[in-house]
Amino acid sequence: MKSTVEEIRARFDADVDRFSDLNTGHAATIDAKLAMELVADAAIAVTPHAKQVVDIGCGGGNYAITLLQRFDNSDVTLIDLSRPMLERAAERVAEYTAGRVVTIQNDIRDVELEKGSADVVVAASVLHHLRTDEQWRKVFAQVFNTLRPGGSFWIVDLIRHESPAVQELIWRRYGEHLVSLRGEAYREEVYAYVEKEDTPQTLPFQLDLLRQVGFRNVDVLHKNTCFAAFGGVRHV
Protein backbone atom coordinates (compact mmCIF):
# COMPACT_ATOMS: atom_id res chain seq x y z
CA MET A 1 0.00 0.00 0.00
CA LYS A 2 1.09 3.56 -0.70
CA SER A 3 1.80 6.00 2.10
CA THR A 4 -1.14 7.79 3.69
CA VAL A 5 -1.36 11.56 3.79
CA GLU A 6 -0.38 11.47 7.46
CA GLU A 7 2.71 9.38 6.73
CA ILE A 8 3.80 11.78 4.00
CA ARG A 9 3.16 14.73 6.29
CA ALA A 10 5.33 13.18 9.01
CA ARG A 11 8.24 12.64 6.63
CA PHE A 12 8.23 16.24 5.48
CA ASP A 13 7.76 17.56 9.02
CA ALA A 14 11.13 15.98 9.79
CA ASP A 15 12.96 17.32 6.73
CA VAL A 16 12.38 21.08 6.83
CA ASP A 17 16.02 22.15 6.76
CA ARG A 18 16.85 20.24 3.58
CA PHE A 19 13.86 21.62 1.69
CA SER A 20 14.67 25.18 2.78
CA ASP A 21 17.92 25.35 0.82
CA LEU A 22 17.84 26.65 -2.75
CA ASN A 23 20.91 24.60 -3.66
CA THR A 24 20.27 21.25 -1.96
CA GLY A 25 16.53 21.17 -1.30
CA HIS A 26 15.77 19.26 -4.47
CA ALA A 27 18.95 17.21 -4.85
CA ALA A 28 17.09 14.08 -5.96
CA THR A 29 15.41 16.04 -8.79
CA ILE A 30 17.53 16.14 -11.92
CA ASP A 31 18.15 19.71 -13.14
CA ALA A 32 16.15 21.13 -10.23
CA LYS A 33 17.72 24.60 -10.31
CA LEU A 34 17.34 24.84 -14.08
CA ALA A 35 13.69 23.78 -13.83
CA MET A 36 13.02 26.41 -11.15
CA GLU A 37 14.54 29.14 -13.29
CA LEU A 38 12.71 28.03 -16.45
CA VAL A 39 9.36 27.99 -14.64
CA ALA A 40 9.95 31.43 -13.16
CA ASP A 41 11.10 32.87 -16.49
CA ALA A 42 8.15 31.32 -18.35
CA ALA A 43 5.72 32.65 -15.76
CA ILE A 44 6.96 36.20 -16.12
CA ALA A 45 7.07 35.90 -19.91
CA VAL A 46 3.39 34.95 -20.21
CA THR A 47 2.05 36.63 -17.04
CA PRO A 48 4.31 39.67 -16.64
CA HIS A 49 2.17 41.65 -14.20
CA ALA A 50 1.31 38.84 -11.78
CA LYS A 51 0.21 40.03 -8.36
CA GLN A 52 -1.20 36.79 -6.94
CA VAL A 53 0.96 33.65 -6.81
CA VAL A 54 -0.09 30.24 -5.47
CA ASP A 55 2.54 27.59 -4.61
CA ILE A 56 1.05 24.11 -4.20
CA GLY A 57 3.23 21.84 -2.09
CA CYS A 58 5.49 24.77 -1.33
CA GLY A 59 7.98 22.91 0.87
CA GLY A 60 10.49 25.37 2.25
CA GLY A 61 9.48 28.05 -0.27
CA ASN A 62 12.19 27.64 -2.90
CA TYR A 63 9.91 27.96 -5.92
CA ALA A 64 7.96 30.87 -4.46
CA ILE A 65 11.23 32.68 -3.76
CA THR A 66 12.47 32.06 -7.29
CA LEU A 67 9.21 33.51 -8.65
CA LEU A 68 9.32 36.51 -6.33
CA GLN A 69 12.79 37.38 -7.55
CA ARG A 70 11.03 38.19 -10.83
CA PHE A 71 7.68 39.56 -9.61
CA ASP A 72 7.71 42.68 -7.43
CA ASN A 73 5.64 42.60 -4.24
CA SER A 74 3.20 39.89 -5.22
CA ASP A 75 0.80 38.33 -2.74
CA VAL A 76 1.62 34.66 -2.19
CA THR A 77 -0.50 31.72 -1.03
CA LEU A 78 1.57 28.79 0.24
CA ILE A 79 -0.07 25.35 0.45
CA ASP A 80 1.55 22.34 2.09
CA LEU A 81 0.74 19.34 4.27
CA SER A 82 3.48 20.17 6.75
CA ARG A 83 3.00 22.95 9.31
CA PRO A 84 6.75 23.24 10.08
CA MET A 85 7.44 23.45 6.34
CA LEU A 86 4.80 26.16 5.92
CA GLU A 87 6.16 28.20 8.80
CA ARG A 88 9.68 28.09 7.39
CA ALA A 89 8.44 28.90 3.88
CA ALA A 90 6.38 31.87 5.08
CA GLU A 91 9.34 33.26 7.01
CA ARG A 92 11.65 32.98 4.02
CA VAL A 93 9.13 34.19 1.42
CA ALA A 94 8.27 37.30 3.45
CA GLU A 95 11.82 38.52 2.89
CA TYR A 96 11.19 38.68 -0.87
CA THR A 97 7.88 40.50 -1.04
CA ALA A 98 6.04 43.36 0.63
CA GLY A 99 2.82 41.63 -0.41
CA ARG A 100 0.61 39.42 1.72
CA VAL A 101 1.78 35.88 2.53
CA VAL A 102 -1.03 33.39 3.30
CA THR A 103 -0.46 29.81 4.45
CA ILE A 104 -2.85 26.88 4.04
CA GLN A 105 -2.02 23.60 5.74
CA ASN A 106 -3.94 20.98 3.80
CA ASP A 107 -3.88 18.44 1.01
CA ILE A 108 -4.55 20.13 -2.36
CA ARG A 109 -7.28 17.54 -2.94
CA ASP A 110 -9.17 19.09 -0.02
CA VAL A 111 -8.45 22.78 -0.61
CA GLU A 112 -11.09 25.09 -2.11
CA LEU A 113 -9.39 28.04 -3.79
CA GLU A 114 -11.26 31.18 -4.79
CA LYS A 115 -12.18 31.25 -8.47
CA GLY A 116 -10.32 33.81 -10.58
CA SER A 117 -8.03 34.75 -7.70
CA ALA A 118 -4.54 33.88 -8.98
CA ASP A 119 -2.21 34.96 -11.76
CA VAL A 120 0.38 32.18 -11.44
CA VAL A 121 0.10 28.73 -9.88
CA VAL A 122 3.13 26.49 -9.47
CA ALA A 123 3.22 22.85 -8.32
CA ALA A 124 6.69 21.38 -7.85
CA SER A 125 7.33 17.77 -6.82
CA VAL A 126 3.87 17.37 -5.33
CA LEU A 127 1.33 16.14 -7.89
CA HIS A 128 2.95 12.69 -8.01
CA HIS A 129 1.12 12.07 -4.71
CA LEU A 130 -2.24 12.06 -6.53
CA ARG A 131 -3.59 8.52 -6.73
CA THR A 132 -6.36 8.32 -9.34
CA ASP A 133 -7.18 9.84 -12.73
CA GLU A 134 -10.19 11.50 -11.10
CA GLN A 135 -7.96 13.22 -8.55
CA TRP A 136 -5.66 14.48 -11.30
CA ARG A 137 -8.60 15.89 -13.23
CA LYS A 138 -10.10 17.53 -10.14
CA VAL A 139 -6.84 19.27 -9.21
CA PHE A 140 -6.09 20.45 -12.76
CA ALA A 141 -9.65 21.76 -13.18
CA GLN A 142 -9.49 23.57 -9.85
CA VAL A 143 -6.22 25.26 -10.79
CA PHE A 144 -7.72 26.35 -14.11
CA ASN A 145 -10.73 27.87 -12.31
CA THR A 146 -8.47 29.55 -9.75
CA LEU A 147 -6.54 31.41 -12.43
CA ARG A 148 -7.60 34.72 -13.89
CA PRO A 149 -7.76 34.95 -17.70
CA GLY A 150 -4.16 35.14 -18.91
CA GLY A 151 -2.87 33.33 -15.83
CA SER A 152 -0.51 30.37 -16.04
CA PHE A 153 0.04 27.01 -14.33
CA TRP A 154 3.53 25.48 -14.11
CA ILE A 155 4.50 21.99 -13.00
CA VAL A 156 7.86 20.42 -12.22
CA ASP A 157 7.60 16.77 -11.29
CA LEU A 158 8.61 13.17 -11.44
CA ILE A 159 7.00 11.40 -14.40
CA ARG A 160 6.67 7.82 -15.56
CA HIS A 161 6.89 6.47 -19.10
CA GLU A 162 4.24 4.50 -20.99
CA SER A 163 6.55 1.76 -22.31
CA PRO A 164 7.72 -0.63 -19.57
CA ALA A 165 11.01 -1.07 -21.40
CA VAL A 166 11.57 2.68 -21.59
CA GLN A 167 10.53 3.09 -17.95
CA GLU A 168 13.09 0.48 -16.91
CA LEU A 169 15.79 2.17 -18.99
CA ILE A 170 15.08 5.65 -17.63
CA TRP A 171 14.77 4.42 -14.05
CA ARG A 172 18.15 2.71 -14.34
CA ARG A 173 19.73 5.92 -15.62
CA TYR A 174 18.11 7.84 -12.78
CA GLY A 175 19.63 5.37 -10.36
CA GLU A 176 23.05 6.02 -11.86
CA HIS A 177 22.50 9.73 -11.29
CA LEU A 178 21.63 9.14 -7.63
CA VAL A 179 24.72 6.97 -7.14
CA SER A 180 26.87 9.71 -8.64
CA LEU A 181 25.45 12.15 -6.08
CA ARG A 182 25.71 10.19 -2.84
CA GLY A 183 26.37 6.51 -3.51
CA GLU A 184 24.33 3.32 -3.71
CA ALA A 185 22.73 3.72 -0.28
CA TYR A 186 21.22 7.05 -1.37
CA ARG A 187 19.88 5.46 -4.55
CA GLU A 188 18.16 2.75 -2.51
CA GLU A 189 16.77 5.35 -0.08
CA VAL A 190 15.22 7.38 -2.92
CA TYR A 191 13.94 4.27 -4.69
CA ALA A 192 12.29 3.15 -1.44
CA TYR A 193 10.37 6.34 -0.74
CA VAL A 194 9.31 6.72 -4.38
CA GLU A 195 7.96 3.17 -4.31
CA LYS A 196 6.21 3.82 -1.00
CA GLU A 197 4.85 7.35 -1.60
CA ASP A 198 4.62 8.24 -5.26
CA THR A 199 2.23 7.53 -8.14
CA PRO A 200 3.58 9.69 -10.98
CA GLN A 201 1.71 10.06 -14.26
CA THR A 202 3.07 10.18 -17.80
CA LEU A 203 3.88 13.49 -19.43
CA PRO A 204 1.41 12.93 -22.33
CA PHE A 205 -1.38 12.24 -19.81
CA GLN A 206 -0.71 15.52 -18.02
CA LEU A 207 -0.33 17.60 -21.18
CA ASP A 208 -3.60 16.18 -22.53
CA LEU A 209 -5.32 16.84 -19.21
CA LEU A 210 -4.17 20.46 -19.20
CA ARG A 211 -5.85 20.91 -22.59
CA GLN A 212 -8.98 19.00 -21.57
CA VAL A 213 -9.67 21.27 -18.58
CA GLY A 214 -9.23 24.40 -20.71
CA PHE A 215 -5.56 25.41 -20.86
CA ARG A 216 -4.06 26.63 -24.12
CA ASN A 217 -0.47 27.21 -25.20
CA VAL A 218 0.57 24.07 -23.35
CA ASP A 219 4.35 23.83 -23.43
CA VAL A 220 7.15 21.58 -22.20
CA LEU A 221 9.98 23.70 -20.86
CA HIS A 222 12.39 20.88 -20.04
CA LYS A 223 12.60 17.09 -19.73
CA ASN A 224 15.53 15.02 -18.48
CA THR A 225 15.01 11.29 -17.87
CA CYS A 226 12.13 10.98 -15.35
CA PHE A 227 11.60 14.68 -14.59
CA ALA A 228 9.80 17.35 -16.60
CA ALA A 229 8.88 21.04 -16.36
CA PHE A 230 5.78 22.10 -18.26
CA GLY A 231 2.61 24.16 -18.07
CA GLY A 232 -0.17 26.05 -19.77
CA VAL A 233 -1.96 29.38 -19.99
CA ARG A 234 -5.58 30.25 -19.36
CA HIS A 235 -6.45 32.43 -22.32
CA VAL A 236 -8.00 35.87 -21.94
Taking the chain (236 residues) in consecutive chunks of 10 residues, what is each chunk's mean pLDDT? 92 84 76 94 95 96 94 94 95 95 96 96 96 97 97 98 98 97 95 95 98 96 98 92
pLDDT of residue 22: 67
- The pLDDT assigned to 236 comes to 73
Q: What's the pLDDT at 15?
A: 84
- DSSP, residue by residue, 69-136: TTSSS-EEEEEES-HHHHHHHHHHHGGG-SS-EEEEES-GGG--PPTT-EEEEEEES-GGG--SHHHH
* 12-26: pLDDT as tens digits: 888 888 877 766 667
Helix (H) or strand (E) holding 227: strand 227-233
Would you report the helix, strand and coil content of the chain in percent, each value rounded to 5? 45, 20, 30
pLDDT of residue 215: 97
The domains of the chain, with CATH numbers, are 5-159+202-233 (3.40.50.150)
Distance CA(59)–CA(233), nearest Å, equals 24
227-233 and 75-80: which strand pairing?
Answer: unpaired
